[in-house]
Amino acid sequence: LASDPGFSRRFRAHHRRNPPLIGCLVYDFCQVRFQPTLERPNRVPQSRFPFPIAAGGRFRILGCRHGLVLIFHDSQKQLLVWDPVTRDQHSLDIPPGFNKKTLMNAAVRRAIGDFHHFQVVLVGNSDMQCTQAVASVYSSSTRVWDKLISTPLPSENSGAPTMVYPGMPAVMVGDSFYWLLCGNSQGILEFDLDKQSLALIPMPMGNTADMRDGNIWVMLAEGGGLGFVFLRGFLVQLWKRRTSCKGVASWLLGRTVELDKLLSLNLEKQIECPRILGFAEVNNVVLLWTLTGIFTVQFELLHFKKVLESKHWYSYYPFEGVYTADGGIGGGPYGAKALHNM
């Protein structure tokens, strides 16, 4: 039974809702490597997930979700959906209607009710009018892109156009994806998968400089719904988007956390302030860089854990999964092995 290749697929689908953070893809601007975060015996070997694009290639990692990694291959102007465990790869051409001279971003997810298929949502500027955001959804079951969905972007007489910020992968909250916007105006771009609609949401605070410095991130709010974390120095502000009984949406400042006290950091040795590296959606933890290492922080419960040693501020992409790829199940060298503690 355990050697049946279908067993690992059913196991993944069964435990999909509660996968642990098994590691991060780390891009050090020269190459991408997998950095495990679990303790033994569930620790995935660092060499287990070789990156599918050779060092020196022009690409951007757009995010990880449901055991899939989404990559934008800049030199080929294609999206690559990669399953590190099965080694499956799917290349997608950019559909018509997108301005390829401006920044684009995208998100991937497994199709609901069908673990074998996935969806990709691509967002960017219109090739007809740069002051318009467009989005399209690709389904691996139909192998086609849906029609374009658009919404106006803030426009000004001067300055760079408003574009999707490339430094933050999409965050999925409920049935919607969220990206940060930069350029002429700052804000949050929402794509509702159920309604198939695009909308703009103002940020509660912060600007493009804060994005570059790793001070802001979209996340799941306490109690559910859209949240926003703002980091200034060692002080964290947690914001939540709420809607009144009259249907008016606004931001509410919730908890404020002093990181130096929570993480027991020695401020005298902290030459640089912490930075936000990413957000692991299923575990609802923020990845924080400090000079003493990289921490995962669950702000709702005020739980934290030091997961990595690193004095360098690289690009980290949290990878959540329900098994290790260590040749145990599946009948071959790339078979999936169930986590010992599941």
What is the number of alpha carbons within 13 Å of residue 20 lying toward its C-beta?
17
Give the residue among 166, 218, 220 at the shortest CA–CA distance from 188: 218
Tokens of residue 36, six digits:
């495990």
What are the pLDDT digits (tens) for 279-312? Answer: 999 999 999 999 889 999 999 999 999 999 887 7
Most confident of the following: 49-63, 249-263, 306-320? 249-263
pLDDT at 123 over 80: yes
Q: How far apart are CA 194 and CA 132, in angstroms?
A: 21
The partner residues of 338 in beta bridges, in order of sequence, read: 323
Q: How far apart are CA 296 and CA 304, in angstroms?
A: 5
Residue 59 phi, psi dihedral angles, 5° rounding: -155, 165
Predicted local distance difference test score (pLDDT) of residue 2 = 61
Residue pair 135/108 in contact by the 8 Å Cβ criterion:
no
Share of the chain residues as helix, strand and coil, in percent rounded to the nearest 5: 5, 45, 45
DSSP string, 121-158: EEEEEBSS-TTEEEEEEEETTTTEEPPPEEEE----SS
Cα 215 to Cα 232, 289, 307, distances in angstroms? 6, 11, 20
Residue pair 63/70 in contact by the 8 Å Cβ criterion:
yes
Predicted local distance difference test score (pLDDT) of residue 156 = 64
CA-CA-CA-CA torsion for 251, 252, 257, 258, nearest 10 degrees? 70
Q: Which range, of 148-157, 158-167, 228-237, 324-333, averages the lowest pLDDT?
A: 324-333
In the block, tokens 């290349």 appear at: 91
pLDDT at 124 over 50: yes
Distant-in-sequence, close-in-space partners of 248: CB < 8 Å, separation ≥ 6: none
The DSSP output letter for 210 is H
Tokens of residue 113, six digits:
């009710």
The pLDDT of 70-97, averaged and rounded, is 93
Predicted local distance difference test score (pLDDT) of residue 332 = 36
What are the pLDDT digits (tens) for 231-284? Answer: 999 999 999 999 988 889 999 999 999 998 998 877 656 668 899 999 999 999
Average pLDDT, the chain: 86
- CA angle centred on 192, ends 105 and 110, rounded to 5°: 70
